[in-house]
Amino acid sequence: MGPPGSGKGTVSDRILKHFGLKHLSSGDLLRTNMQRRTEFGLIAKTFIAQGQLVPDDVITRLILQELKDLDQHPWLLDGFPRTVPQAEALDKAYQIDSVIDLNVPFDTIKQRLTARWIHPASGRVYNTEFSPPKVTGIDDLTGEPLVQRDDDKPETVMKRLKAYEVLTRPVLNYYRDKGVLETFSGTETNKIWPHVYAFLQTKLPDVSQKEAASQR
């Protein structure tokens, strides 16, 4: 969990690399559905463009449907749940072991999101300052063009941060009360990551070949 732009996708990538979990990102899933113009995608589009959350029943159905396929593997959810009703629906279906909360100040986030570029087909994320592609505007692996997300416009970012305050912050209390919330605060992913890594090492074996936990 964490506000938009707090580094959920970036930290998720590192977690996958080290701990071999299956990853499900609600944002990536919604963007794939929008590109394919599925029923879910068409509903989601108007909400996302306005910086609003997609209705609980829509996103919950989508996520639970996907999780069925991952049933046999340990998984990492990124961007879901974002409201208390979503958290309650998830609890009915699965037991959540740990919730990682990235607590990054809003001022830091606003700067980051104007510099975010993505490769839509894979969900790969770049940042012109923090993690630039090898060639400006081009995905490292496919050579395809990068795009900026429509909802990363400054006015839409403000709406998303507001939605986070109102609807998502209560989810932190929900998990704190259950005793599974771990909060990591800071302004730089590279400083937050070693703490997340150390925490997860107490729960899961590191299956990566690499020794340096600080490397991407």
Interacting residues toward ligand ADP by CB under 6 A: 4-5, 8, 26-27, 30, 47-48, 52-54, 59, 79-82, 86, 151, 160
* Ramachandran area for residue 5 (φ above 0: left; ψ -120 to 50: alpha; else beta): left
116 is catalytic: yes
Give yes or no: 8 in active site.
Answer: yes
160 noted as active-site residue: yes
Q: Look up 61 and say whether it is catalytic.
A: no
- Environment class of 85 (CB within 10 Å of its CB; exposed 0-12, middle 13-18, buried 19+): middle
> To 5 degrees, how large is the angle CA 121–CA 136–CA 36?
15
Closest approach of ligand ADP to the CB of residue 207, in Å: 26
Of ligand ADP, ligand GDP, none, which one sits near residue 119, judging by CB under 5 to 8 A according to partner kind? none
Pairing of strands 22-25, 75-78: parallel
Residue 27 assigned to a binding site: no
- CB 170 within 8 Å of CB 87: no
Nearer to ligand GDP, 20 or 123 (CB): 123
Summarize the annotated binding site for AMP as residue ranges. 26, 31, 52-54, 79-82, 86, 149, 160
Summarize the annotated binding site for GTP as residue ranges. 5-10, 116, 125-126, 189
